[in-house]
Copies of this chain bind each other. A is one copy, B any other.
């Protein structure tokens, strides 16, 4: 028998009250949740303390991060959030109310119904979230396989800052920093802990006739390789077009990281990487064109007038070159 949380019955009563009966599923209702008929996309993601986020992270932040990372997958499909299912294994003394209050509030903001789940005890906080998304009838699902030679290659926002934030959290922020550097460090750590899924951009892309999309979770280089493999195309990335702000360069100097390596391989950026026919620009203010899709299978980085191969690698590999 699964050892239930000490106060499982009280927790479930509390959840039932908090959700006003919106929970339809296997956590507090039947053995499974019955969904209204429809067309769905499904995505699953882990978040484990000490692996995906620092142990001891405020549980409200942990809950919001779990949801944000998963919502980014829905954004990459052009989907609208619909239902969430949570598997939560937590240590004794875990503050379920703090976690669920934050999770339910974030679900409400995104139009998500927490429709079921499973609770257990575990020495390490271990969560996995399954999200189901729907789409407008006239929109299409986005895929990684829709890139065509001649498409422009776009990023929905900046990259590398989240990885800088992760390094700062792991190593601790350097002392004796200027006020502007301290501010930049705080922003990077927040960016890492609380990514913003680009759902509106995903919906806009889903209403376009063509183009591929995915979210950047494992670093631009590795994820672009995946997109190009799925589409059977190559790509050229213009290093000068990558969004390096002064703040990001200052940060990289402070932590001794190469901005380009961090941007290409850092990961967990949770911005959309997408392609569009020439002449179409997304309404997202932070989006920028970083290159183009080519025939063949080569992925090339254009840097200071020279073309070099863009390796299929994460930050660790790029940093060690």
Q: A residues engaging B (CB < 8 A)? A: 1-4, 25-26, 29-46, 48, 51-52, 72-74, 76-77, 79, 83, 85-87, 89, 115-118, 120-124, 126, 128, 130-133, 141-145, 163, 166, 214-215, 217-219, 230, 266-268, 314-315
CB neighbours of A115 from chain B (8 A): 42
The reply to whether A73 and B32 form a contact with Cβ atoms under 8 Å apart is yes
The reply to whether A87 and B45 form a contact with Cβ atoms under 8 Å apart is yes
The reply to whether A41 and B52 form a contact with Cβ atoms under 8 Å apart is no
- Assuming the A-B contacts A30-B77, A31-B76, are A2 and B87 also in contact, with contact meaning beta carbons closer than 8 angstroms in the complex? no
The residue that A217 contacts in the complex, of B1, B116, B214, B215, with Cβ under 8 A, is B1
Q: Which of A25, A115, A132 has the most CB of B within 10 A?
A: A132
Q: How far is the CA of A89 from the CA of B46 in the complex (A)?
A: 8
Q: How far is the CA of A133 from the CA of B36 in the complex (A)?
A: 13
Q: How far is the CA of A22 from the CA of B128 in the complex (A)?
A: 23
**Main secondary structure on A side of the interface with B:** mixed
CB neighbours of A121 from chain B (8 A): 51
The reply to whether A33 and B37 form a contact with Cβ atoms under 8 Å apart is no
Q: How far is the CA of A52 from the CA of B126 in the complex (A)?
A: 14
Q: What is the CB-to-nearest-CB distance from A151 to chain B, in angstroms, rounded to a whole number?
A: 17
Q: What is the CB-to-nearest-CB distance from A264 to chain B, in angstroms, rounded to a whole number?
A: 12
Q: How far is the CA of A146 from the CA of B87 in the complex (A)?
A: 27
Q: What is the CB-to-nearest-CB distance from A70 to chain B, in angstroms, rounded to a whole number?
A: 9
Q: What is the CB-to-nearest-CB distance from A273 to chain B, in angstroms, rounded to a whole number?
A: 11
- Assuming the A-B contacts A44-B130, A73-B26, are A2 and B218 also in contact, with contact meaning beta carbons closer than 8 angstroms in the complex? yes
Q: What is the CB-to-nearest-CB distance from A54 to chain B, in angstroms, rounded to a whole number?
A: 14
